[in-house]
Amino acid sequence: MTFALPVSVLDQSPVSEGSTGAAALANTVDLARLVDELGYHRYWVAEHHGTPMLASPSPEVLIASIAARTSRIRVGSGGVMLPHYSPLKVAETFSMLSGLYPGRIDLGLGRAPGSDQQTMIALQRDRRQRAPDDFPEQLEELLAYLEDRFPERHPLARLARLPGRPETPEVWLLGSSPQSAIWAAELGLPYAFADFINPAGARLARAYRERFAPSDRLAAPHVAVAVSVICADTDVESEHLGASQRMAISMLRRGQPIEVPPVEKARHFLANDPAADAAADARRVIKGSPATVRAGLEQVAADYAADEVVVVTITHDHAARRRSYELVAAELRLHDLADAGVASR
């Protein structure tokens, strides 16, 4: 039976132990081309800085490369960490991408630094003091550029003549906290919740729906839930593959980020450090055969009353990651959804 909701992909460009960042980026482009053919709805790339585990500090560069090598799928950021940047620069960049790839570009925005505190300071142009926590003001300015909503006599109004017009990106707010849900609701934006970071987000999705203010951007609330998934031919194989991610997350929680380790190394580590394995359990991962994963995705989607599901998969072996997305697509019959024109917006 065909899955009822559009299914998308979040790719963090994981770097496998024994490989390179360049190979991780090539794998991202390869995976995007695959899921474009498989019927996934969106392909979002993440922003992380200063970590050996993820080769994804510049989503806009990957978006351009992916959009040029795919034909149907929407491509976007999951997300751009706006506090690091000038709203005008982000608006200009995504306007250009929208002009180059009309109707296919998403601008997912986040408030989190996507890095540790030291790296966050290094990203600042002025390091004499911490940048102000003015995300709402940044977001309002960015939307004013994209939507050409500055008052006529505003000193910045002329800058809203963006290079990619009349094309514009589809703007999303991303988050894993109560505040992001409130902002998305107040601004009438679609909201993507990172369940793979915080599995207790169903109540925040409800709060977003309850507080949602219809706008020219969006007439009704729209929730996407991003879920960690590892699918394999059997439940046992999936559990085996999941050891790599479990070890990587455990080390991250210790403040010791590593490249994604091989399965056997990870299994040995977890077997000899039960506390590390328990720490990894704080994050939800839907693992198993296609039928098991389907049941898990249906349950999470129901918990969030989601309008869309976003799948993020990390394995040491790129072939296993490709296989996971292939199995999910076949089980959910995503080609049928794409052929029927089922879309979130």
pLDDT of residue 138: 95
In a domain, 278, yes or no: no
How many CA atoms, within 13 angstroms, populate the side-chain half-sphere of residue 106? Answer: 29
pLDDT of residue 344: 46
In a domain, 249, yes or no: no
CATH code of 33's domain: 3.20.20.30
Q: How many domains does one find in the chain? A: 1
Contact 188, 94 (CB under 8 A): no
Whole-number average pLDDT of the chain = 92
User: pLDDT tens for residues 106-153?
Assistant: 999 999 765 677 777 787 777 677 777 889 999 999 999 999 999 988
In a domain, 274, yes or no: no
User: pLDDT tens for residues 304-343?
Assistant: 999 999 999 999 999 999 999 999 999 999 987 666 655 5
pTM of the model as a whole: 0.94
Query: Could you give the CA distance from residue 43 to residue 311 in angstroms, rounded to a whole number?
Result: 10
In a domain, 244, yes or no: no
pLDDT of residue 202: 96
In a domain, 256, yes or no: no
- Tell me the residue range of the domain where 29 lies: 7-227+285-339
In a domain, 177, yes or no: yes
Residue with more model confidence, 274 or 153: 153
In a domain, 250, yes or no: no
Question: Is the pLDDT score of 160 beyond 90?
Answer: yes
Q: For 322, left (φ over 0), alpha (ψ -120 to 50), or beta?
A: alpha
In a domain, 259, yes or no: no
